[in-house]
Structure 1
Amino acid sequence: MSRSLISSNTAAVGPVPDPELAKLIFDRLYDIGFDGRGMTRPSYGEGENRAHALFDEIAREHGLEIRRDWASNLFITLPGRNRNLPVVMTGSHLDTVPCGGNFDGAAGAAAGLLILCAWSTAGFQPERDTTLIVTRAEESVWFPVSYLGSRTAFGLLDADALETPRSDDGVTLREHMQACGAKPEECGTAPVLDPTKIDCFVELHIEQGPVLLEADVPVGIVTGICGSTRYRSAVIHGQYAHSGATPRRFRSDAVMAGASMMMALHTDWKTVEAAGEDMTLTFGVCQTDPAQANFAAVPGKLDLVIDIRSRDEALLERMNARVIEQARRVEAEFSVRVELGPRTQSTPALMDETIQEQAKDLAAEMGIVVVSMASGAGHDAATFAGQGVPTEMLFVRNENGSHNPDESMEMPDFLVGVGLLERLLRQRAS
């Protein structure tokens, strides 16, 4: 493993994270997660376990402190001179969505590790502890619980959630935790993070949209994180019938009901945008039963997923009410039955204005062009902000979006983002 490093003491340039170590981390994560097309590291699965073990290995080689909490979140710390001061924190996650990319989450976790390794190698000791948290289970596609890792870290998880089955194998969160060495029996009693003992939390992440690409800027300063309201398992029940022998007035067509409901909500979205409000609406799943649906039958069942996001909590509630209204309307109009299923949601989070200004000032000193922007996607940083911790996010330019195998963050952009993060953490920790 390469240890080449350009460093200075505590001058403005500071210890420079090692690009070769960065390459090694991403290459190893690729080997761990590659599924033949993209990256698949399920939450509390073998791939996530191996990724955590990789970070543990590198941290130990650099003499960093390591601990795990009851939920197996990983904490890597470079001790400060005064260990009684509130700690500076950074971090992200290492699980992926099915067939995702190699940078979502991993870029932020790798950035924090690179910085702590660089500081340790250069002999730099901050005034206060600086800690990287590598959270578990951020991607709620596996367990339908938002920000599972960061919520467990703060003791915010209801014990009932431990019985939630994972989407791919049906095995409960409790059992998956036990299999990887976590201690779910300590939920509610184990030591957890105290927000008053955290100076700040700063998370680096790839941008998951096209804003930085369009602006031709490598780094974004995040102003806030959208919350969400979701129905992950909605079902529209109609009645299968012969496509040629059933006139429209006799039909109970699940697909037409779903199409009408989706278009009505889409019209609501356009109305919201026209009023200058900000949100997104996505139907990520819309499918008939492949075992029974066919070209010669009126479809009797439609599975549907609804995902609404906004930084405005009141708007999320308004749109949720519209979802329910539209479900009732299509029931009456199309003679179907709509089961929306459980609603899951996350709360919007505002980023700390002081840290945003610090990041902008440092970027200007470093000659980095940045833009301010919101995050449409959810992140563990939202949990920290919700607990009253001064929180900020830095986005790194990334082509082709996220949650797909084609994520394309360029290493020079990443290193620019890591450099800004290093300066920001060093300023806060000093």
Structure 2
Amino acid sequence: MTLTEAVTAQTPLVQRLLDGVAALGADPPGITRVAYGPGESAAHALIAEAGRALSLTASTDAGANLTLRWASPSAQRAPVLIGSHLDSVVQGGNFDGAAGVIAGIAAIAALQAAGIQPKRDIEVLALRCEEAVWFGLGLIGSRCLLARLPEGALDLPHARGGLTLAASIVACGGDPARLREGTPLRDPRGIGAYLEVHIEQAPQLIEAVAPVAVCLANPGNVRHPFIRITGEDAHTGLPHRFRHDAALAGADLSLALERLWLAEEKAGRPMAVTIGRFHTDAARHSLTAVAGDFTMSLDLRGYDAEHLAALEGRLAAIVAEVAERRGVTITLGERSAAAPGPMDPAIIAGLGAAAARLGIAAPALNSPGSHDANNFAAAGVPTGMLLVRNQNGSHNPHEAMDTPDLMAAIAVLTDYLAHDAA
């Protein structure tokens, strides 16, 4: 059986697993697989079962991440890890994360069917809690694996039920005491490469009329989930010169950040600004009152650590200017951050060469989203990603990845692994 035939033969397996994780997370109109909850854990069990059918060795680490290892009888180099996540946002889509884990399973199945034996171990990782919605902190599984949890993270409460991250990890078979030691569960120097397949989160591949892209970099981010703007409550008839309007200060801050975004992109420095929360106090706001209190959130993204630091400096200057002009206090509050994830040049070239051998159009593009790959790249692990065409973005019920496009990505991944084994 040729390698191409072996990949094609995995289509029923891929579809069965996609349908399986969808059923486990069904939450009309979308999919909800709660991190460290029944849906995510059931998806881990489904993937583990698929691994056992391929004679892969399963293990669970202290962060409750699942590893499925295909051992090489003549391992000559450090292992290659293929990973992603199985949790979702609330009523999101089925493919964000899950497609990447399933791609790893399918690639190993295809290599086995084609009789290709790798010269290093290949491992599939199902990483826990990639989505920040559950603890206000994203990429938790890979943070656990690589000792990149920020101070106090294990005490964060879960968005559903309030169980701490530490208790959530225990409930899924992990060991937070080991995580508190602050040393990696896997030495990054002992990992040969980390590869991730992920649906695209902007319609760049729809625009390019291509099924798959080779990722150049993932953005890092700085996040402030609860920015508090404090002004003064007042009557709606109060003249402008007397007002300290928290709501208009929030609008000013948002529009100033958008102007920054447009200027940076015009200068060839890609970035992104997202305002997710944006509201007055629902318990007190009124048609006939000037708002003295306003809450908003900010996700600030950039592809280079120095650029991201510069953007954070610009944020501070904008906040100071708006606060002074509007006569309000702006408190940025809690901060979290994820490092940018530049992909390894050799892996970029290798994945591009694999696509070329297969005759698959695969432009090189930046990813709009941060992924577990960021943590591996930041830890010094050679990292690569493939992005799969997906018309309607992610984090919504309308994710529109087609299975043939995922199979194209699996073909590129498998061809890369086969040549890596040569």
Which of the numbers 321, 326, 334 marks the counterpart of 1:329?
Answer: 321
How many angstroms apart in 1 are the aligned matches of 2:289 and 2:397? 36
After TM superposition, the score normalised by the length of structure 1 is: 0.93
**1:415 paired to 2:415:** no
Correspondence 1:25-424 to 2 at 5 A: 25-83=17-75, 85-120=77-112, 124-158=116-150, 160-189=152-181, 192-244=185-237, 246-424=238-416
Q: Contact 1:220–1:394 at 8 Å: present in 2 too?
A: yes
**Cα deviations by residue, 1:196-224 (Å, 9 ceiling, x for unpaired):** 22221111111110111001011101111
Give the gaps of 5 or more residues in structure 1. 1-6
How many angstroms apart in 2 are the aligned matches of 1:145 and 1:377? 14
Partner SS state of residue 55, structure 1: helix
Q: Contact 1:331–1:337 at 8 Å: present in 2 too?
A: yes
C-alpha displacement of 1:83: 3.8
Give the gaps of 5 or more residues in structure 2. none
How many angstroms apart in 1 are the aligned matches of 2:377 and 2:292? 44
How many angstroms apart in 2 are the aligned matches of 1:64 and 1:372? 32
Partner SS state of residue 363, structure 2: strand
Q: Contact 2:63–2:176 at 8 Å: present in 1 too?
A: yes
Q: Call closer, same or farther: CA 1:429–1:144 in 2, change over 3 Å.
A: farther
**Farther off after superposition, 172-181 or 273-282:** 273-282
Q: Contact 1:76–1:132 at 8 Å: present in 2 too?
A: yes
How many angstroms apart in 2 are the aligned matches of 1:356 and 1:425? 13
**Cα deviations by residue, 1:38-60 (Å, 9 ceiling, x for unpaired):** 11112212211111111112212
Q: Which residue identity is paired with 2:208?
A: A
Q: Contact 2:7–2:106 at 8 Å: present in 1 too?
A: no
Q: Give the RMSD, CA atoms, in angstroms.
A: 1.9
Q: Contact 2:71–2:120 at 8 Å: present in 1 too?
A: yes
How many angstroms apart in 1 are the aligned matches of 2:254 and 2:352? 41
**Cα deviations by residue, 1:25-77 (Å, 9 ceiling, x for unpaired):** 11111111121211111221221111111111221233211111111111001
Q: Contact 1:17–1:115 at 8 Å: present in 2 too?
A: no
How many angstroms apart in 1 are the aligned matches of 2:81 and 2:18? 22
**Farther off after superposition, 97-106 or 35-44:** 35-44
Q: Contact 1:222–1:393 at 8 Å: present in 2 too?
A: yes
C-alpha displacement of 1:185: 1.7
After TM superposition, the score normalised by the length of structure 2 is: 0.94
How many angstroms apart in 1 are the aligned matches of 2:252 and 2:61? 47
How many angstroms apart in 2 are the aligned matches of 1:362 and 1:72? 33
How many angstroms apart in 1 are the aligned matches of 2:161 and 2:292? 27
Identity %: 38
Equivalenced residues, count: 421
C-alpha displacement of 1:15: 5.5
Q: Which residue identity is paired with 2:324?
A: A
How many angstroms apart in 2 are the aligned matches of 1:121 and 1:188? 42
Q: Call closer, same or farther: CA 1:158–1:346 in 2, change over 3 Å.
A: closer
**Farther off after superposition, 139-148 or 375-384:** 139-148
